[in-house]
Homo-oligomer: A and B are copies of this chain.
């Protein structure tokens, strides 16, 4: 049995916020001859937390996201608790 639970947080830049990195990568891929219409680059944060019930883990990680992991001005987050 694992002694920690893995939680994956996907941090996604809001569509309204420009993404210079995604735009640059899209251009580079097209320069290399690939047919790509859009690229977005986001962050995935994987946390090891003490095991517990899903609700309390979700509550704790939500707090981490709101406080630190995501910037509400430009990002949304989604939490996946790995089974």
Contacts and interface: CB of A to CB of B under 8 A. Distances in A.
Interface in A20-77: 25, 28-29, 32, 34-50, 60, 63-64, 67-69
A31 to B, nearest CB: 10
A1 to B, nearest CB: 15
A10 B44 contact: yes
Q: Count identical subunits in the complex.
A: 2
Contact of A32 (B28, B35, B48, B68): B68
Contacts of A4: 37-38
Given A28-B68, A32-B68, A40 B49 contact: no
Interface of A: 4, 10, 25, 28-29, 32, 34-50, 60, 63-64, 67-69
